Structure 1
Amino acid sequence: MDFDFAAEQPKLVQLLIGVVAFCAVVAVVVLLLDRAPTRQRARLPALILLAPALVLLGIGLVVPAIRTTLLSFMSGDSRAFVGVDNYAWMFTQPEALTVLRNTLIWVVLVPLVVTSIGLVYAVLVDRSRFEALAKSLVFLPMAISFVGAGIIWKFVYAYRPEGADQIGLLNQLVVWFGGEPQQWLLEPPVNTLFLIVVMVWIQAGFATVVLSAAIKGIPAEIVEAARLDGAGPVQMFFQVTLPSIRPAVIVVLVTQSIGTLKLFDIVRTMTGGQFDTSVIANEMYNQAFRYGETGKGAALAVFLFVLVTPIVVYQIRDLRLRREAR
């Protein structure tokens, strides 16, 4: 294939301009750092080096956040100001309330179940002969994307009429035990619980690895002292292990809570939000990009941000208190 220099010349010129502009910015930064007064050299370099990142952060995060907030007070076509009507719709209409209920179920169950499974598993495999293999098996689903996991579990829950060959693992097990195949993803609200199983399956490995590392970090002196005092396995867990790894438990809970609030892929892949399984992120996408209701989609996005903010603030505050304690 021949190279058309005349057609590609504008692109080459743009590339050259970009390279020259980048070099010019770097040269200006270096010059400013070199000419800075001695007293200001401690703070000025940090400010100059952070400036480009702060500008990009403002363009990519702050500006869209402000625009989304403004859109949440506008109509679907973004032409008329409707005040808090979009927020009133969110908290009054049955379909929106179902979305909020589902999100609440996800946020309550997923962090608790994932952390509990990860903690129990980490304690059981700690210092066992097959610890590496056990951790590898439970961590393996983390390598699968949420979309891939959704497709896998959609086959697990697949339904065929009674008498037909079942391709879904769960329905095949039910048939083997003399039951009737069920359409697991069509019956609310239990279909939401079956979707939650997928999230737990993916994230349990993350919790196990983090909590296992925290358990191994418990000083041996504390463990030995507890054993000399006659502490049994249950007392060791609740009075020594759990208090010692509290920061790691909080990290897992916070991480899972934020990830669950933003959940989109699993619901989108397995049910598309139908059959009363939609959550905030999925409904936000539907309203803004499928139904043309930009205002409602923006209102859901703002509400999602409001839900995440207290969790992030708590995590930052907890980290600050632990640093001060040291």
Structure 2
Amino acid sequence: MGFLLNTRVGQLVLAVILFCAIVAVLLLIAKGADSLRERARRPAVVAVFAGPALLLLAAGLIYPFIRTLWMSFMDNRSENYVGFANYVTALTEPSNLVGFRNTFLWVILTPLLSTTIGLVYAVLIDKSRLEKVAKALLFLPMAISFVGAGIIWKFVYDYKGAGQDQIGVINALLTWVGLEPVRFLQDSWMNTIFLILVLVWIEAGFAMVILSASIKAVPEDIIEAARLDGASAWQLFWSITIPSIRPSLVVVLTTISIATLKIFDITRTMTGAKFDTQVLANLMYDESFVFGNNGLGSAMAVFIFVLVVPLVMFNIRQMAKNREVRG
């Protein structure tokens, strides 16, 4: 037993044994459910296949949410009940208000810019000779992690004092043409805009792929009929394309909004969430793990959850409507 617990090989063997045991138990339960009478078989089969998923959901999502919600009403050491004091602090502390302002700025600008760029790009390259290459170029950033993208763009925005050699791409170009270097990431409030552009660079490819597929699904006979009636390119786009791809537009906007609400990596990597660039996720992390204020950190987590859940529910409803229309 000591070999299994104290060595890497032993731990791997133990993990394999446990995995095989779990699979064997599930197979036995499934076989037992299959042997039941027809009346009792369906509930048993549902329990067998949905049970493990529901247990994991309860352990990994429902219990942590309930615990986080409870901790948000406790003090910094999670010992004494303080009511809504943490929520009041979250909504009145100046630094927290900056985080809320930045979060809403991210959620408003990122989906709109990403979707607009993706849509315009998809329309422009549709049925062009180099369409696949053009799509690949815009979609490539999606393969990069947020941390990786943050490091790349940190070098793009990098600033050195006047008179020093600039290693940042943009500032090097500015000094090359005789202009003064700019503190892109240090000077508020525009630094948040420059951070938002990084996520737009990543998400525009996602929007383009989804919307391009939707554009190709627009019936050709409708477009041809509109052209015969004398519709211009703009009228075709605004009156035919946009209404036809509206469900996909909504899904893209809400999906990007959900990802934006949880943004953490880019601000942490590029500015350390300093210079008034913090968002709700940074505030949650700092309060919980840097300052040890579990109550206020949990309150920030609840705020993020409350903002994300309506978007998730709306997104699910839209996707269900899309399936009904296609069906």
Shift of 1:289: 0.3
Shift of 1:90: 0.9
2-structure distance, mates of 1:315, 1:250: 8
- Confirm or deny: 8 A CA contact 2:4 2:11 kept in the other structure: no
- Confirm or deny: 8 A CA contact 2:26 2:48 kept in the other structure: no
The match for 1:28 is 28
Is the aligned partner of 1:71 residue 2:61?
no
- Confirm or deny: 8 A CA contact 2:156 2:170 kept in the other structure: yes
2-structure distance, mates of 1:197, 1:283: 21
1:17-166 equivalence runs, <5 A: 18-19=18-19, 21-166=21-166
- Confirm or deny: 8 A CA contact 2:267 2:278 kept in the other structure: yes
The match for 2:230 is 230
The match for 1:266 is 266
SS in 1 for 2:79: coil
1-structure distance, mates of 2:148, 2:31: 50
Q: Larger deviation: 68-77 or 167-176?
A: 167-176
2-structure distance, mates of 1:306, 1:179: 46
Shift of 1:225: 1.0
2-structure distance, mates of 1:90, 1:189: 21
TM-score, normalised with respect to structure 1: 0.93
Given residue 53 of structure 2, which amino acid in structure 1 is its aligned partner? A
Give the length in aligned residue pairs: 323
Deviation string, structure 1 residues 67-121 (Cα, Å, up to 9, x no partner): 0000000111111111101100111110110000000000000000000000000
Shift of 1:21: 3.5
1-structure distance, mates of 2:253, 2:5: 58
SS in 2 for 1:41: helix
Given residue 226 of structure 1, which amino acid in structure 2 is its aligned partner? A
Given residue 272 of structure 1, which amino acid in structure 2 is its aligned partner? G
TM-score, normalised with respect to structure 2: 0.93
Is the aligned partner of 1:175 residue 2:175?
yes
Given residue 256 of structure 2, which amino acid in structure 1 is its aligned partner? Q
- Confirm or deny: 8 A CA contact 1:29 1:49 kept in the other structure: no
Q: Larger deviation: 307-316 or 120-129?
A: 307-316
After superposition, the Cα gap between the structure-2 partners of 1:146 and 1:6, relative to the gap in structure 1 and judged at 3 Å, is closer
**Percent identity between the aligned chains?**
52
Shift of 1:134: 0.9
After superposition, the Cα gap between the structure-2 partners of 1:317 and 1:11, relative to the gap in structure 1 and judged at 3 Å, is closer
2-structure distance, mates of 1:85, 1:7: 46
After superposition, the Cα gap between the structure-2 partners of 1:211 and 1:179, relative to the gap in structure 1 and judged at 3 Å, is same
2-structure distance, mates of 1:277, 1:48: 48
After superposition, the Cα gap between the structure-2 partners of 1:7 and 1:89, relative to the gap in structure 1 and judged at 3 Å, is closer
- Confirm or deny: 8 A CA contact 1:126 1:212 kept in the other structure: yes
2-structure distance, mates of 1:147, 1:267: 9
Shift of 1:28: 3.2
2-structure distance, mates of 1:291, 1:101: 22
After superposition, the Cα gap between the structure-2 partners of 1:172 and 1:318, relative to the gap in structure 1 and judged at 3 Å, is same
2-structure distance, mates of 1:259, 1:6: 40
- The two structures, once aligned, show a CA RMSD in angstroms of 2.0
Shift of 1:176: 2.7
2-structure distance, mates of 1:66, 1:5: 36
Task: Provide structure 1 residue ranges, at least 5 long, that are not aligned to the other structure.
Answer: none
Task: Provide structure 2 residue ranges, at least 5 long, that are not aligned to the other structure.
Answer: none
